[in-house]
Amino acid sequence: MKKYSLPKIAIIPLLIVLLLSGLFFLQYKIDHFRRGPDALHTDLAPLEVIPTALLGSFRGILVDLLWIRGIARYEEKKFYELLAINNMIAKLQPHFSAVWIFQAWNMCYNIAFEWESPENKWRWIKAGLEFAEKGATRNPTNGDLLFEIGYIYFHKFDSKSFQYTSYYRKHLKEETGKDNYRQSLYWVRKSLNYNTLLRKRIVIERTVCHILWHASLQAEKDGKQKEAFSYANESKKEWNAYLKRHPDDPGGIAGKFIEKISEKMLQLEQKV
């Protein structure tokens, strides 16, 4: 009995139809994830959404495996491979703020600590900040992430606990044109516009006051008396505004700082 089969020429249009149907389905899934409840914003590139669309429920398993692999690479001090893993996790969970916060802190603090030279330390601090700021473009209304970026700009470039803060400030200015205190103020103040789970609002408000005060002290140390006076004046205004919002002043620190800042402003005024 003679068997009949489709001519080879007929298979090609069929394959094209199947391919186009698959692409249509994939595009539909991409649009769904970019618009739906699983994505808060529409600023993700299609290539960042495709893994989410294709993996489905397996995405969580893959993320867990990547976290485990990342921890292993950190312990093995294979930091550049860890950076690649961080980027993969961020693509799979772009709106999970803990990913961006944890990995940014890991680079700025833990990995930077592993290096001896200030050059290598700075390279990882810069990478951590760039990673966190990339996360902020994906999550522009996440108060926790915005605050942590601002706090790193403040703490890592100012704290006496770190040996090379002046080196970091210098290279930040030379390579990016940014001032760490102004960057810190920008991100911390921005975080006040949104809800935060990791920090109470009152803590963030006090952080703004502290940043301005430390910026004043550093400017005075650098011989920039006018700038120091300006920062001190801003800090005093912030503390006064803070007292109006919180007249009970938990801890009773606002009044002490206002007195201290007022004395410093008198000294700076004489120098200017």
Do 181 and 151 contact (CB within 8 A), yes or no? no
What's the pLDDT tens digit per position in 194-230?
999 999 999 999 999 999 999 999 999 999 999 999 9
What's the pLDDT tens digit per position in 28-86?
444 544 454 444 444 545 555 555 554 555 666 777 788 788 888 888 888 888 888 88
Mean pLDDT, rounded, for 154-163:
93
Mean pLDDT, rounded, for 148-171:
96
Do 95 and 138 contact (CB within 8 A), yes or no? yes
What's the pLDDT tens digit per position in 184-195?
999 999 999 999
Do 225 and 248 contact (CB within 8 A), yes or no? no
Half-sphere exposure of 33 (CA within 13 A, CB side): 22
What is this structure's pTM? Answer: 0.78
Long-range contacts of the stretch 202-207 (C-beta < 8 A, 24+): 202/246, 202/250, 204/147, 205/238, 205/242, 205/245, 205/246, 206/242, 206/253, 207/147, 207/150, 207/151, 207/154
